[in-house]
Amino acid sequence: MPVGNLDLPLMHPVKGVRIGIAEAAIRYKNRRDLAVLEIIHGATVSAVFTQNSYCAAPVLLCRQHLTKATPRYLVINTGNANAGTGSVGMENAQASCAALAKLTQVAAEQVLPFSTGVIGEHLPVDRLVAGLPVALAALNENAWADAASAIMTTDTRPKGASETFEVAGQRYTVTGISKGAGMIRPNMATMLGYVATDVAMAQSVLDALLKSAVNQSFNRITIDGDTSTNDSCVLIATGTAGNAEITRAAGELFEKLEAAVHRVFARLAQLIVRDGEGATKFMTVQVEEGESTDECCDVAYSIAHSPLVKTAFFASDPNWGRIVAAIGNAGLRQLDVSRVRVYLDTVCIVESGGRAPAYTEEQGSAVMKQDEILIRVCLGRGQARDTVYTCDFSYDYVKINADYRS
């Protein structure tokens, strides 16, 4: 079951973005599985995608379309990834864009397609196209929560975050949704994520903001170490708040916007981990005193990806040997293990190359029984630090993935 509070907050509308939902029976009947996002003319849009070489047809088409036009519509389906589908998959993605473009009287290149679900099966494009008029008829500014539900696959909860802030008496909004519960080790994106703000921003500023936000959120989570074929993340700046366009990363408005965007992205990313398939523990892996952030991440991911570590945490077994083995497997050159210190929350379990003299098994067991646990590693070789978020592996993770297609 999910770890912690995953309830949707009040999802503030973002002027300039309207959302419509439909039941298209992409995979299952009687469930919302199709969403259309309409973006106001003149908005700025930035996106990042999976680095998986076997990326899905919609990812390839999105990349192409972004080089040709500014997006006006996003079309998102769940239940079918349209990945591993060859030329037919690309034709189906193109057909989806063409159908929506015809209905909305925009160019096909102004539509970005997104899919999530089972890999290797052809998208039932006829059903998707049949659902588009229903989604368009439902377009409104207050459908963010509905969209969060419509893009779910094995998620048990819809995922959303929303904030408002003020500068010089003017209120601004940042709202977003994400989905993902398995096949999570994003690389430049998340499974699916869509965030919008009403602030006006130049393309270069928006691109840089998206990159920085993703790198400290969706690129710092892992459930099972698998990077999806369909990972996509979009940041939209509608410019409807009436501010003078932000053309450089400076000033009070940008600083407050940046902070809000980072908080929204962090919440969306951590919700994915909290809803990880079969998760019972939310684990923060914090690595400090490294020579670089890269090596801190290498150590953090080595711990977070280890099935032995993750199953030990599920069992609340303080088998700290698995943690130090994962640290040693991270590939750090000339690591002086005598300087490494490892903590479970505030309990020091390892120092001077072995078990900390004051550590007791009872201390470790008490921490391991918590729903939320901090694993803190001090490498003793520099000033860099970074953090990765993950979850445990339970029996249910195996059951969910063994039965995924049934």
Q: Is 386 helix (H, G, I), strand (E, B) or coil?
A: strand
Classify strands 192-197 and 232-237 as parallel, antiparallel or unpaired: parallel
- Encode the chain in three state secondary structure: CCCCCCCCCCCCCCCCEEEEEECCCCCCCCCCCEEEEEECCCCEEEEEECCCCCCCHHHHHHHHHHCCCCCCEEEEEEEECCCCCHHHHHHHHHHHHHHHHHHHCCCHHHEEEEEEEECCCCCCHHHHHHHHHHHHHCCECCCHHHHHHHCCCCCCCCEEEEEEEEECCEEEEEEEEEECCCCCCCCCCCCEEEEEECCCECHHHHHHHHHHHHHCCHHHECCCCCCCCCCEEEEEECCCCCCCCECCCCCHHHHHHHHHHHHHHHHHHHHHHHCCCCCCCEEEEEEEEECCHHHHHHHHHHHHHCHHHHHHHHCCCCCHHHHHHHHHCCCCCCCCHHHCEEEECCEEEEECCEECCCCCHHHHHHHHCCCEEEEEEECCCCCEEEEEEEECCCHHHHHHHHCCCC
Rounded CA separation 164/183 (Å) = 32
The one catalytic residue among 190, 238, 240, 390: 190
Q: Is 344 helix (H, G, I), strand (E, B) or coil?
A: strand
- Is 154 among the catalytic positions? no
Q: How far is the first Cα of the chain from the last one, in angstroms, to the nearest whole number?
A: 20
Q: Tell me which residues are annotated as active site.
A: 190
